[in-house]
Amino acid sequence: MHSPDDIQYALETTRVLREPDRRIDTFGDTRFEFQLLSELMDRSGEVRIRTGHLEAMRPRIMRPSAYSEIELEGFNNDARKRLDAMVEKLRAEGKDLAFLQYGFQFRRTQVTEEIVHDRIEAVRDRVMEDIRRTGNPARAIIEGVDDAWEVSLFKFAFEMILRSQDINAFDFKRRGLL
């Protein structure tokens, strides 16, 4: 279990270097690819690249306590505690958590890991050049903290929710559901 300081550090230092071209669909599931770069804490000149998928299930209109019902499939046993701690931290900071009323479910598929022996700046440049060359519109590039990498992934997911929230609310209103 990570300390509140570990979670705070991960929240402050995680950066989304490239976000996917699309937002979370209002009436269907959305699948994002991610590459999460992180320097190894105990070794210099080594970067871990985690690659996987994150699925946001179609949003649902739910009661305000919906965050406790978010299903975390494929995450380790401490993921619920980390998610709850991050939500409480954001709530204590006065962040608007209204998006949680949608009750998204997140499923992380199998994540592959690769250790690259180089500086983080060089790895970052290569990964960004690769995405420019391939142009994959569903891929996110995230730079985060190695030992709290799931917090970095949660931060990305929450940022995608915040960017999708207005579009989703508009779609629900247009169909008379809100």
Overall domain count for the chain: 1
Of the candidates 158, 149, 113, the one whose C-alpha atom is nearest the C-alpha of residue 9 is: 149
Report DSSP state, residue 43: S
Whether residue 173 is contained in a domain is answered as: no
Q: What is the DSSP string of 78-132?
A: THHHHHHHHHHHHHHTT---GGGGG---EEE---EEEEEES-HHHHHHHHHHHHH
Domain range spanning residue 142?
4-168
Q: Is 148 helix (H, G, I), strand (E, B) or coil?
A: coil
pLDDT digits (tens, 9 = 90+) for 70-106: 777 778 878 888 878 877 787 788 765 554 344 445 5
pLDDT digits (tens, 9 = 90+) for 126-172: 999 999 998 888 899 999 999 999 899 989 988 888 888 888 888 87
Whether residue 87 is contained in a domain is answered as: yes
Whether residue 65 is contained in a domain is answered as: yes
Whether residue 145 is contained in a domain is answered as: yes
Whether residue 115 is contained in a domain is answered as: yes
